[in-house]
Amino acid sequence: MKTIYIIAPYPRAEAPSQRFRFEQYLDFLESEGFTLHFHPFINEKTWNTIYSEGKVVKKIIGMLGSFLRRWVLLLQLHKADYVFIHREAAQMGPPIFEWIIAKVLRKKYIYDFDDAIWLPNYSESNAKFHSLKAYWKVKYCMKWAHKITAGNAYLADFAKQYNANVQVLPTTIDTEHYHNQTIHYEKEKLVIGWTGSHTTLHYLDELVPVLQQLEKKFDFTFTVISNEAPVFSLKSLQFVKWTKVTEIEELLQFSIGVMPLKEDQWSKGKCGFKALQYMSLGIPSVISPVGVNSEIIANGENGFTPSSLSEWTEALEKLLTDRSLRHKLGMEGQATIEKRYSVHSQKQHYLNLFQ
Query: Is residue 194 domain-shared with residue 154, that is, in the same domain?
Result: no
Between 268 and 204, residue with greater pLDDT: 204
Residue 182 has pLDDT above 70, yes or no: yes
Confidence of residue 171 (pLDDT cuts 50, 70, 90): very high
pLDDT score at 131: 64
Residue 151 pLDDT > 50, yes or no? yes
HEC assignment per residue over the chain: CCEEEEEECCCCCCCHHHHCCCHHHHHHHHHCCCEEEEEECCCHHHHHHHCCCCCHHHHHHHHHHHHHHHHHHHCCHHHCCEEEEECCCCCCCCCHHHHHHHHHCCCCEEEEECCCCCCCCCCHHHHHHHHHCCHHHHHHHHHHCCEEEECCHHHHHHHCCCCCCEEECCCCECCCCCCCCCCCCCCCCEEEEEECCHHHHHHHHHHHHHHHHHHCCCCEEEEEEECCCCCCCCCCEEEEECCCCCHHHHHCCCCEEEECCCCCHHHHCCCCHHHHHHHHCCCCEEECCCCCHHHHCCECCCEECCCCHHHHHHHHHHHHHCHHHHHHHHHHHHHHHHHHHEHHHHHHHHHHHCC
* Residue 196 structural domain: 190-341
195 and 158 inside one domain: no
Do 125 and 215 belong together in one domain?
Answer: no
The pLDDT tens digits of the residues spanning 200-254 come to 899 999 999 999 999 999 999 999 999 999 999 999 999 999 998 999 999 999 9
Which among 282, 222, 297, 221 is positioned nearest to 248, based on CA atoms?
A: 282
* pLDDT value for 125: 47
What does the pLDDT read at residue 249? 96
Q: Are residues 202 and 250 in the same domain?
A: yes
What is the maximal distance between C-alpha atoms in the chain? 66
Mean pLDDT, residues 178-198 taken together: 94
If asked whether residues 17 and 133 sit together in one domain, one would say: yes
Domain count, the chain: 2
Q: Which of 140, 169, 198 is the last residue of a domain?
A: 169
Within this chain, do residues 296 and 225 fall inside the same structural domain, yes or no? yes
Mean pLDDT of 177-191: 93
- Tell me the average pLDDT across 298-304: 97
What's the chain's average pLDDT? 92
pTM of the model: 0.88
What are the angstrom distances between the C-alpha of 261 and each of 133, 218, 345?
Answer: 25, 24, 27
Residues 234 and 323 in one domain: yes
Does residue 238 share a domain with residue 163?
no
Last residue of a domain, one of 100, 135, 169: 169
Q: What is the model's pLDDT at position 62? A: 85
Final residue of a domain: which of 169, 203, 231? 169
pLDDT at 1 over 90: no
Q: In the predicted model, what is the mean pLDDT of residues 32-36? A: 97
